[in-house]
Amino acid sequence: MAQKVSIDPFTRIEGHLAINLEVEGNYISDAKCVGEMFRGFEQIMRGRSPLDAQQIMQRICGVCPVSQGQASSLAQEDAYGLEIPDNGRLIRNIMLGANYFHNNVTHFYHLSAMDFIDVKGILAYQGKDRMLLDIKSWVQQEMRSKKLFPAAPFLPRYETRYIQNAEVNISALKNYFVAMDIRALAHQLVAIFSGKMPHMASNVPGGVTEQVTTKKIALCRTKTRQLREFLETEYIHDVLAVANEFPEYWQLGKSCGNYLSYGSFAQAKGNTNKVFEPGVLINGTFSEVDTASITEQVKYSKYSSDSGRGKTNPEPNKSGAYSWIKAPRYNGEPMEVGPLSRVMVAYARPGDSLLKQYTDQFLRQIGRTVEELDSCLGRHAIRIIELQLLLDRMEEWIEKLEPGQPACADFTIPASGKGAGLTEAPRGALGHWISIENSKVSNYDCIVPTTWNCSPKDDKEVSGPVEQALIGTYVQDKDNPIEAARIVRAFDPCLACAVH
């Protein structure tokens, strides 16, 4: 008989999530991702000026507001028939790249690393290594100054196996605190052209309202170099150290095997030639993205609106529903989105993409295969690969900025129109759709990455990607289901986005 196991609340993610499991003989036989609240951003937009959209929609998320704001601007530009200047395109790429860095560092150090680091073991370290003792003392001082111990996120802890190597433990926990400054540095890089972070003041349809100057270019160069130093000297080594301690997680967390990417970081006018390329991979077959194939199914979602697209009528008491997250499907199939999907699409797409080249090089260095990336550790490793690629491109984009040239195009809001804004947020495929009537928003629809990944079962009883990644997982101790926690956090769920 199945035993019910619930992780509620599921902590160290963005938003409110519960994971409800059924475990038989220590194996997960069923899993449910439960989005526990409703926010209503799409309803907020109805009847408002379209120009409110890019500012309001950034507030869907405090971690990836750049992606949400840019998707909204892209949707409006599609509706208005706008093409942004080169400076505007380059600045958007730089800001989005910096936001990727902020997101990925946050995800590993401040959300996921506590699943692996033995905090109690660090504080109990009594060895003779002077460097480790000095780092331990510094960590204890940081904890006291920030009043972080023995409170969350360090306690409570699952009683399970953590990192055994004292040097790896202490280095990773030291960088937990260093990464706070690195996150601030990434925000500062965005703010050079956004005015502030989070939530960009300069993001508008047509480009960016900030002007390019030599001083801003110099600031971008300096901060990008600082981010690269942390990536190459700390972040990469900490992730690989965790991988060496837990090699079994290269085999845990396999998802649905279907992948979707909208593409992002345009390298030419017209939002074309993207660093992360668009594509769909279903059962090993590649195709181009067709948004008409996307539906939102709601049999197990708390909405009275029919399955289809763009309809959002909340119904908290709906019989049988267990989540406020909808179930997006592509041609009726669940799709994983995010870093893994971007890589799998790069390998399946004709041609030799930059992302594939960087991935091949990284995999050769660590002795792993592409197939192993569909795993808990694979999702962590790919985020490193993406940052290596993006930092190289960001340095090029910074050098291409032209002081004195426009960064924004003029436009007029049409009386009516429709537009789609498709991009890749750090967590995956992000789409905004806007409809305009009488120069006001008549309908607004968002399908965000975690809505895809953490979707509930659909109308055909098929589980979503995270649910499928959990099913079949061996749980050593049902009272301490750390295996499930590590797998879910590897997807970097953002429930605030998913229940927008």
In a domain, 477, yes or no: yes
Angle at 156 (CA atoms; ends 155, 159), nearest 5 degrees: 115
Alpha carbons 193 and 98: distance in angstroms, whole number = 11
123 within some domain:
no
Q: How far apart are CA 304 and CA 137, in angstroms?
A: 56
**What's the pLDDT at 155?**
64
pTM of the prediction?
Answer: 0.95
> Does 208 reside within a domain?
yes
d(CA 487, CA 496) in angstroms, rounded, equals: 19
What CATH number did the domain enclosing 449 receive?
1.10.645.10
Tally of domains within the chain: 1
Q: Does the residue 394 lie in any domain?
A: yes
Handedness of CA 178, 365, 466, 4 (dihedral sign): negative
Q: Which domain holds residue 92?
A: 3-118+164-498
Cβ–Cβ contacts within 10 Å for residue 156, how many? Answer: 10
Please state, as a whole number, how many other Cβ atoms lie within 10 Å of the Cβ of residue 145. 9
Structure tokens at 95: 């800001």
pLDDT for position 147: 66
Q: Which residues neighbour 473 within 8 Å (Cβ) at sequence distance 6 or greater?
A: 27, 28, 252, 253, 483, 484, 487
**Identity of residue 237:** H
pLDDT single digits (tens) 204-222? 999 999 999 999 999 999 9
In a domain, 22, yes or no: yes
Q: CA angle, corner 19, sides to 180 and 302, nearest 5?
A: 110
Residue with tokens 């197939």: 371
- The verdict on residue 200 lying in a domain is yes
Domain membership of residue 392 (yes or no) is yes
Vertex 475 angle, CA 473 and 477, to 5°: 175
Q: Classify residue 236: in a domain, yes or no.
A: yes
Which residues of the chain are under the pLDDT cut of 50? none
